[in-house]
Each structure stands twice: as structure tokens, then as C-alpha cells.
Amino acid sequence: MTGGQMAPTTLIGQRTATTPWGRNPELGDGWPLKISEMAAMLEGACFVARSSISKPAGVVQTRACIKKAFMKQAEFKGFSLVEVLSPCPTVWQKSAPDAMAWIDSDMTKYFPLGILKER
């Protein structure tokens, strides 16, 4: 996503280049997709996690999740998915610290962090 257009994870009311009025499902913009939750329901999924890089501890956790995903793949356990919540200060029209805080205050309410599936 490079042009500031609406993404599958754009929150309701969030403004983008293609939804300057804010994402509105009633106007046909659709709902944000919970990709990790959908992937976790699939039989072939062995590891599905959502993490954030909004804080140093989150970067460490994200690295651990990605490492675990690769290990599961190398062991032929199934497919893995790690969804990473990351900022876009320019498009969000926020300073970098405000964008990081917004991930924690708003995004994680709709997209909670954690391991959704591990086998």
C-alpha cells in the first residue's frame, strides 16, 4: 500500500486517499478484514499471530513471532501467518510518536495482539 488508499485493515471512520470521508460500510466501503482470525480457522494453519512494532517490546515480540513462523514452516507443520501492525505517519497525518500511540489506542481494539493459533 503506497498511495494512501484504503487497505483491508483500514478502520471504520479512518480517512484515506480513496475514502476521504472515512471508511463507511454503509456507503459500500466494506468492513475491515480480520485476516489473522480468518487464517486461524483454516485446518492447514499451524501458527497465526498478530503483533505490533509500536514499542520496543513489540519489535522484540514481532521478531520472535516471525522466527517461530519460519521454524514451523521449516518443520512442515503447515502454513504460518504473522500480521504486524505498523505505522504510516505520513498518510495518517500524525507524528511518528502519535502514530505509534494510535496503534496502541485504536488499532489494537479492533485487531487484538497475540497468538491466535499454534499447533
Model confidence pLDDT, tens digit, residues 38-60? 999 999 999 999 999 999 999 99
Q: For the beta carbon of residue 23, count every other beta carbon within 10 angstroms.
A: 20
Classify residue 11 as exposed, middle or buried by CB count within 10 Å of its CB (0-12, 13-18, 19+).
middle
Largest Cα–Cα separation, the chain: 46
Model confidence pLDDT, tens digit, residues 12-29? 999 888 888 999 999 999
Report yes or no: 46 and 74 within 8 Å, Cβ to Cβ. no
Model confidence pLDDT, tens digit, residues 99-108? 999 999 999 9
pTM, full prediction:
0.89
Q: Which three cell numbers stand for residue 98?
A: 502519535
